[in-house]
């Protein structure tokens, strides 16, 4: 029962599937501390500093480096694009926004996850100057009644609270957050589809391929049986 409630607080993640992001953050941080790769932003998001075995460290190193390479490939293939959208589906406490924003100035970044988790992430970011400085605000970032309060909603970074098992309304959700279907867009699924109903992940991928009107790509890194593999598909 992945969705079983284990906590009952409005500010903290309250179902078990949301807590998987703590495990991912701690494991990535273990690899960072051992020098496998660099991530100066991750320390803010780690609840528990833990040391993992070399096999686990290497696994997380491969995961992060592979994803970073594919993100780079996408951006480099669109060298002249004025603006590129990056949508992190089931982003959890991931730091990809900060990594990407340091390298590329032409990114509008969207994050989808449960509301409670995004609230927690917003609090972390708002309390760390090193993170907050990446957020760009413009006059147009006015309060919109359709958008939930208390989540990051600036020009280059928008959080969309969303249950991916109810993904029929994803198009409207994106529209509400000024998503542009005609811009080149990269979707990321890093260890999230595994937690969805099979039907939901099929619907999600089909909807995304239907609604996009420009070069789009989805990077899927998921556990499949006992194998973990990377699949990259143009949509």
Ligand X SMILES: C[S@@+](CC[C@H](N)C(=O)[O-])C[C@H]1O[C@@H](n2cnc3c(N)ncnc32)[C@H](O)[C@@H]1O
Interface ranges with ligand X (CB under 6 A): 17-18, 20-21, 24, 90-92, 94, 113-114, 117, 162-165, 190-192, 195-196
Q: How many CB atoms lie within 10 A of CB 220?
A: 20
Alpha helices in the chain (DSSP H): 16-33, 54-77, 96-103, 115-126, 129-132, 170-176, 198-211
- Pairing state of beta strands 107-113 and 84-89? parallel
Tell the smallest beta-carbon distance from residue 28 to ligand X (Å).
7
**What is the smallest separation between the CB atom of 148 and ligand X, expressed in angstroms?**
14
Please indicate if the annotation marks 163 as binding a ligand: yes
Angle between helices 115-126 and 16-33 (to 10 degrees): 40
Closer CB to ligand X, residue 150 or residue 214?
150
Q: Is residue 186 a known part of a binding site?
A: no
The answer to whether 143 is annotated as binding is: no
- The closest of 162, 50, 77 to 115, measured between CA atoms, is 162
User: What is the number of the residue whose Cβ is closest to ligand X?
Assistant: 92
Nearer to ligand X, 122 or 214 (CB): 122
State which residue, 171 or 214, has the beta carbon closest to ligand X.
171
| Binding residue ranges | 63, 90, 163-164, 190
Binding site for S-adenosyl-L-methionine, by residue number, is 63, 90, 163-164, 190
């Amino acid at each position: 029962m992945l969705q079983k409630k284990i906590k009952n607080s409005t500010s903290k993640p309250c179902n078990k599937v949301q807590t998987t992001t703590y495990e991912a953050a701690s494991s990535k941080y273990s690899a960072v501390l051992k020098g496998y790769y660099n991530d100066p932003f991750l320390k803010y998001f780690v609840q528990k500093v833990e040391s993992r075995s070399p096999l686990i460290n290497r696994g997380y190193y491969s995961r992060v480096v592979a994803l970073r390479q594919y993100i780079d490939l996408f951006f480099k293939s669109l060298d002249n694009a004025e603006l590129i959208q990056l949508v992190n589906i089931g982003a959890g406490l991931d730091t990809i926004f900060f990594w990407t924003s340091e390298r590329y100035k032409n990114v509008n970044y969207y994050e989808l996850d449960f509301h409670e988790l995004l609230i927690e992430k917003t609090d972390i970011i708002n309390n760390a100057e090193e993170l907050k400085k990446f957020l760009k605000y413009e006059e147009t970032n006015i309060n919109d009644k359709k958008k939930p309060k208390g989540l990051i909603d600036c020009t280059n970074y928008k959080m969309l609270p969303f249950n991916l098992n109810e993904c029929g309304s994803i198009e409207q959700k994106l529209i509400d957050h000024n998503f542009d279907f005609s811009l080149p867009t990269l979707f990321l699924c890093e260890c999230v589809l595994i937690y969805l109903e099979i039907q939901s992940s099929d619907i999600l991928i089909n909807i995304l391929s239907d609604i996009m009107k420009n070069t789009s790509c989805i990077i899927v890194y998921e556990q499949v049986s006992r194998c973990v593999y990377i699949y990259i598909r143009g949509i």
